[in-house]
Amino acid sequence: MNADSQTKVVLITGGAKRVGASITRELHRQGASIMLHYHTSETEAIALQAELNQIRPNSAAITQCNLLETDCIPALVAATLQTFGRLDALVNNASSYYPTELGSIQLEQWEDLMGSNLKAPLFLSQAAADALQASGGCIVNITDMHIERPKKHYIVYSAAKAGLVSLTKSLAQELAPKVRVNAVAPGPVLWPDNNQEFDEQYRQQVINQTLLKRTGEPSDIAKAVKFLIYDAPFVTGHVLAVDGGRHLSI
């Protein structure tokens, strides 16, 4: 581990559980100090903060914000700077995910899915821009393998994630040359909680459509994020697919 990796400060949204927690642990293991954002997962956030601080004291802090209410977004960056003195990387991971069938889409669903997957990353990136310019830092957005081939009945989610890809490339242009902006497009690594659509038959179908004939692990996504933050100094505006090749076969 080099000295630079030991001093990085990372703000990650939705970092308390599932893939977000895996990203948080991976970056902390690399030596980063973590500002962990959560919305409703307070119990998980407190537990993960304690876990990380037991490993390395004062290396993790938590902050709460409903990202749909953009007024609280600048406070996430301010809390990070106040706690750790700098910001080296922003990981826009928080995301709502559920189906919206055409003919029954509600405005609240549109605002939730667009807000969490597109609006929040934009305004958080904007709020963090000055701090990232000062540190020569980077942004990593978490998109989805369905950005090129939308998932049926997930019209709003698919549109939001496709927009996040465009945002990634636009931010790469806007924030160059000091700030790099990239994205990771995960494939099947964790099945959604409490979603009956993803029964055993469907899961096997997904695996059969994946070139590597298996699902991935949350650690696969976490390691991709780590790579883009630590080991890709000449990469910007890129979307890294981590899906076992499924984007080539669906």
Instruction: Please list the active-site residues.
Output: 157
Whether residue 88 contacts residue 134, with contact meaning beta carbons closer than 8 Å, is answered with: no
Whether residue 109 contacts residue 102, with contact meaning beta carbons closer than 8 Å, is answered with: no
**Which class for 227: exposed (0-12), middle (13-18), buried (19 or more C-beta within 10 A)?**
middle
DSSP 100: B
Neighbours of 193 (CB within 10 A): 9
Neighbours of 73 (CB within 10 A): 23
Q: Which residues contact 196 (CB under 8 A, 6 or more apart)?
A: none
CA distance 114 to 128: 20
CA distance 144 to 162: 8
Pairing of strands 60-64, 33-38: parallel
Among 91, 122, 132, 134, residue whose Cα is nearest residue 226: 91
